[in-house]
Amino acid sequence: MPWVRFLADYDWRATPAVTLAYKAGTVANVTTPCAKAAKAEGKAKPTERPAK
């Protein structure tokens, strides 16, 4: 599961009944399909795991 930084607000439809909303600037560990879809739309970029 990759870490990404969202460049714009992004809604990921995990299933028809579930939507996960990510705000611009959020750094999150997301599923690979979510990361690929967000990158394809230009709304996310790969990043490193944030320091604790």
- In a 3-state reduction of DSSP, which class is residue 48? coil
Domain boundaries, the chain: 3-46
pLDDT at position 52 is 82
pLDDT at position 13 is 95
Report yes or no: 47 and 4 within 8 Å, Cβ to Cβ.
Answer: yes
Residue 44: φ, ψ to 5°:
-150, 155
Residue ranges of alpha helices (H) inside 2-47 are 32-40
pLDDT at position 1 is 93
Read off the pLDDT of residues 13-48 as tens digits, 9 standing for 90 and up: 999 999 999 999 999 999 999 999 999 999 999 999
Beta bridge partners of 3: 29
Residue ranges of alpha helices (H) inside the chain are 32-40
pLDDT at position 36 is 97
pLDDT at position 11 is 98
Residue bearing the bigger pLDDT, 32 or 52: 32
